[in-house]
Chain A
Amino acid sequence: MYNVRAVLEGRLALTEGLASEFYDCLACRGCESVCPAGVPVGNIMEQARGLITEAKNEGTLLRWAKRFLLSGVLAHPRRLALFMTFARWGDALGLRRLVSAISPALGERAALLPAITPRTVLADRFEPDGKPRKRVALFAGCIASHLFSEVNEATARVLQRNGYEVVVPKEQVCCGALHLHNGLPDTGRELAAKNIEAFKDVDAIVVNAAGCGAALSEYGELLESNPGAKSFAERVVDISAFLVREGFEAPAASPSTKPMRVAYDAPCHLFHAQRVKDEPRELLSKIPGVELVDYREPERCCGSAGIYNVTHYDMSMEVLERKMKDIVPARPDIIATGNPGCHLQLSEGVRRSLLKAEVVHPVVLLDRAYRSER
């Protein structure tokens, strides 16, 4: 932080060495939860990384890769769909094995990605069960809608079941979080403007991915000049916070025939950035058969941190190892977490630590419980 200030004051040159250190930060924002002065560390980091992009002070290859993948592909739903189709073919043809053969280091990173299954396209409207209580919109996410379509479906069903009419605006785009975290604020702002337009007519914008939720709920500061930004940000709400706030029906059945030990691991962008701390646990505790288990520092970062586990593989795995050391003794059957990045990272942790546990989004568990009622 002190270095960022010195750069802004013109007292320090933004060298390549310094630039790369700005990227060593996980930007988990854990410090924001304890900072007495309320320093918006995440926001400052984003701005600092924007400066790096302006000064073109990072390796050319990295810069182009980021531009291509984040601004070129992720920011455009149709290009992303095409890209994912290629990726799926690649996966089927054994591309991962090929990558590992060429470069074991890249192979390790590729192993972090889940198997790419064809996407089930989400409907754009879900009628409520019974008389509608309210109309809410679902933020489906860009890559999540491809890799985690199950979570979106579960979210929609759970809302339906609790009497909401759910709409999924077609014009929505990626939240821009990865762009903001990686020094591409202009793309981030363009995406934000599109989303503000896409969601202008709904009461609540329900999000099931912590990273997206954090970025969306900060549009107010990101686009101060956009008159819709503040109201957009205020309507953004995480699914667990929404259900706990508005009340939801406790399921009558357990999702499993056996009792489940559930470890809830708090995504940084939910706990620290959005300050949604107790709601996911409260939601889980209402599910029959769930026993919440305690372990050390569930709110500490798991090391996923967006694309950090790809760009800073070794450090990220060290952070993960510490996390697993805390989780494993609690002997969970399920690790619940509400963010795609953490989901992938913890799955890798489970694989490495030989733990027999499934990583699940809390809302998916709730959905399973509702569905076992019948």
Chain B
Amino acid sequence: MRHELDASLIAKLKRGLPPESVLVDPHHVLVYECDGSTAFKSSPDAVVLPRSTDEVAAVVRLCSEYGVPFVARGAGTGLSGGATPSEGGLVISLASMNQILELDLSNRLALCQTGVVNLEISRHVARHGLYFAPDPSSQSSCTLGGNIAENSGGPHCFKYGATTSHVLGLTVVLPDGEVVHLGGPRDSVGYDLVGLFVGSEGTFGIATEALVRLMPTPEAVKTLLAPFRSMEAACEAVSDIVALGIVPAALEMLDQPTIQVIEAGVNAAGYPVDAAAVLLVELDGAAHGMDRMEEEIRQQCDKHGAVSFMVARDAQARARLWLGRKAAFGAMGRLSTDLYVQDGVVPRSRLPEVLVKVGEIAERYRIKVANVFHAGDGNLHPCIPYDGRDADECRRVLEAGREILELCVAVGGTISGEHGIGTEKSDHMGLLFSEIDLDLMRSLRDVWNPRGLCNPGKLFPTSSGCGEAASLGSVAAAPGAWI
């Protein structure tokens, strides 16, 4: 259902905001039609770029008055169509709200506007020996607000937890325009509303300010790289490393197609292109004992036939190893015009068999797949390059994506590790949840967002998809699935 925007609404918006902060030209609004998952497109009618909580609230009140749907947008790096304005209406971009407002060094807290870019927080506090721990690979462009909405993780979240562990308080503009403050530095009374808001994918309102926890930069860091001759051996090494009781800061894996495409681009990290897989491990914390941990990890890698074992010499070498990994999705742009990044989770021990099956699915649908994933958490990211102009290929890609998720659920995993459900996976929720579960979630959303104007069309199956999901009832969650 699309809404024709009332001219008087645009006029009011233009009166309340500087003229360059209200975009209505077709070529201006078009670039807001999708996020990082370009398979899902829907152009907004207008885009606004407010600069303060008050301005956001004023815009939201107008939307509420006119009954126009709206969606918050950070940097648009999301990978599940979360910021796509499915029903048109307004995109409210937080891009101009990028200030770090206050630092409380003794309590290691920062109060930020939510449009601030993730990496800017760490850059800003680096001289105080602090950093913001959640580090999605998109951290040089994604915003704190997007991280909060998606409860984003990152390579280092294996040890430090995803965004939710690092957000203490929020200022939120509710979908009727009311401004509320949730949580705070020492709040543990009553319901954990901050915890509820984090991960709500922009359907509970718009967060405009956030109080986040900062971490002291670790005393020592080591980055290790081990290439393997087979993916299976590499996965087994991961399981054994974790079984030792060592908690590395990060445990990342890249398969051969991924390695090759990274090495061909500007972020070539020096990964051996003939390896079937490389394992990237980072250790951080106290310097004491780190050499021993390194040695234990080396032994496990040797045991599983690692071709070599490299330790980054200095900060520069570490940065280079990480840059390759973090630019992996981007590098896939060398393969085709569009990229579909799948996001599923499986128990670590099932990784090898699942990867083989993912390969089989890809073959069956005649598509290419490159794997790069957070091995420590069993969080897979099969990347499927495709050409969005080829309708048949699009269909095959989406179907393969769905089969991969069914596979994850069947082995006791889940359908998203960190990218969220958004538009992309709303129809797959039935793979994991019963109607009762979904109704409970819907009623929760209705408390925050009773008229459904705030980011409609997300998370929950649309009616057509629902029937489809029901017919696939045979792949219901396996016993002990991580839901």
Contact = CB atoms under 8 A, between A and B. Distances in A.
A35 interface: yes
B30 A12 contact: yes
B327 interface: yes
Interface in A1-43: 2-3, 6, 9, 11-13, 15, 17-18, 21, 33-39
Interface stretch (B50-58, B156-164, B329-337, B406-414): B329-337
Interface residues of A, number: 18
Contacts of B31: 2-3
B270 interface: no
B330 A15 contact: no
Interface string B316-334: 0000000000011011111
A12 B29 CA distance: 11
Given A9-B389, A17-B25, A36 B30 contact: no
Contact of B30 (A2, A37, A38): A2
B266 A18 contact: no
Interface in B238-269: 262, 264-267
Nearest to A18: B27
Given A17-B25, A38-B266, A6 B30 contact: yes
B478 to A, nearest CB: 37
B83 to A, nearest CB: 14
Which bucket holds chain B's interface residue count? 10 to 19
Nearest to B262: A36
A33 B26 contact: no
Interface in B256-311: 262, 264-267
B25 A36 contact: no
B30 to A, nearest CB: 6
A39 B337 CA distance: 10
B221 to A, nearest CB: 24
Contacts of B25: 15, 17-18
Nearest to B339: A37
A21 B23 CA distance: 14
A34 B30 contact: no
A38 B26 contact: no
Contacts of B30: 2-3, 6, 11-12
Contacts of A17: 25, 27
A18 B262 CA distance: 34
B266 A35 contact: yes
B330 A35 contact: yes
Contact of B266 (A2, A6, A36): A36
A37 B265 contact: yes
Contact of A37 (B26, B27, B334, B389): B334
Contacts of A34: 266
Contacts of B334: 37-38
A36 B27 contact: no
A15 B30 CA distance: 14
Contacts of B27: 3, 6, 12, 15, 17-18, 21
A35 B327 CA distance: 9
A6 B262 CA distance: 27
Nearest to B32: A2
B26 A36 contact: no
B265 A38 contact: yes
Nearest to B267: A36
Interface in B16-40: 25-27, 30-31
Nearest to B25: A17
Nearest to A22: B27
A9 B333 CA distance: 18
Nearest to A11: B30
Interface string A307-349: 0000000000000000000000000000000000000000000
A8 to B, nearest CB: 10
A72 B368 CA distance: 50
A21 B332 CA distance: 28
Nearest to B264: A38
B330 A36 contact: yes
A18 B26 CA distance: 9
Interface string B96-124: 00000000000000000000000000000
Interface in A33-72: 33-39
Nearest to A275: B266
B389 A33 contact: no
Contacts of A38: 264-266, 333-334
B254 to A, nearest CB: 14
Nearest to B34: A2
Nearest to A5: B337
Given A3-B27, A17-B27, A33 B266 contact: yes
Interface in B159-201: none
Contacts of B389: 9
A75 B332 CA distance: 40
A2 B388 CA distance: 13
A349 B25 CA distance: 36
Contacts of A12: 26-27, 30
A23 to B, nearest CB: 14
Interface of B: 25-27, 30-31, 262, 264-267, 327-328, 330-334, 389
28 contacts: A2-B31, A3-B30, A3-B31, A6-B27, A6-B30, A9-B389, A11-B30, A12-B30, A13-B26, A15-B26, A15-B27, A17-B25, A18-B27, A21-B27, A35-B333, A36-B327, A36-B330, A36-B331, A36-B333, A37-B265, A37-B330, A37-B332, A37-B333, A37-B334, A38-B266, A38-B333, A38-B334, A39-B333
Counting from the closest, the 4 A-B pairs by CB-CB distance are A37-B333, A36-B330, A36-B327, A18-B27
